[in-house]
A and B are shown apart, each in its own frame.
Chain A
Amino acid sequence: MDHQQYQKIRVLILLLVATIVATAIIVNNLYLAFAGVLIGMLFLLVAKQKFKQAIVDERVISIAGRASQVTYVVVTTLLACLGLFFTLSAKTHNSPYLESIGVVFCYVALLLVTIYSLSYHYFNKKYGADE
């Protein structure tokens, strides 16, 4: 199986799953939707096993890493700035709702920084750092 065939089969499976899920929604049957998604996942797994060529290689991983880094920087900065803006706005407008939103944004930004630090530490150790 070559790459083009694999792509065609993937599209066919996705169309099949979409049809089953749409039908399940129309007839209001939750089990049918779950069964459709499960069958689709199974077919995709089988197709992936039949497809011998590398789908993910070092270049794709490198691109994904850079894209993740950009996403992390953009999202964390945006959340931190929004959190600061809402918290300071709440002080001037005397609004507890704005302050709550600001605090939530700040905590989400902190959570992202924590996850990044932990994963960085983990991969740093995995790839040979002695510290």
Chain B
Amino acid sequence: MALMSNRIKICRAERSLTQEDLAQKCGVTRQTIIAVEKDKYIPSLELAFKIAHVFKQPIEKIFTYKL
């Protein structure tokens, strides 16, 4: 069971951003964005901040951790 979950897909849809666009803005590959979206890969703190910066939201609004 994944402890980390995220709202990347929703935020992308709100801003009409494709996975490719987000990947380019964050400087990673599209495969990484897909893996993060599906909770298969936990991003580094740096990438998490970059994603939050792209969506202009605090990091805790994008990523949540269930204890």
**Distance A3 CA – B23 CA, assembled complex (angstroms):** 12
Q: Number of B interface residues at 8 Å Cβ cutoff, please give it.
A: 14
Partner of A58, one of B23, B24, B30, B44: B44
A59 touches B23 (CB 8 A): no
A58 and B29 CA atoms in complex are apart in Å by 9
Total number of A residues with any Cβ neighbor in B under 8 Å: 9
Bound complex: CA of A54 vs CA of B32, how far in Å? 11
- Residues of chain A contacted by B47 (CB below 8 angstroms): 58
Number of A-B residue pairs with CB-CB distance less than 8 Å in the complex they form:
28
Mask, B34-65, CB within 8 Å of A = 1, is 01000001011011000000000000000000
Give Cα A59 to B44, complex, Å. 9
Nearest residue, chain A, Cβ from B35: A59
Chain B residues within 8 Å of A58, by CB: 28, 32, 43-44, 46-47
Q: Which residues on B are within 8 Å of A, measured CB to CB?
A: 23-24, 27-32, 35, 41, 43-44, 46-47
- Beyond A53-B23, A54-B23, A54-B28, 12 additional contacts (C-beta under 8 Å) are A53-B24, A57-B32, A58-B28, A58-B44, A58-B46, A59-B28, A59-B29, A59-B31, A59-B32, A59-B41, A60-B32, A62-B41
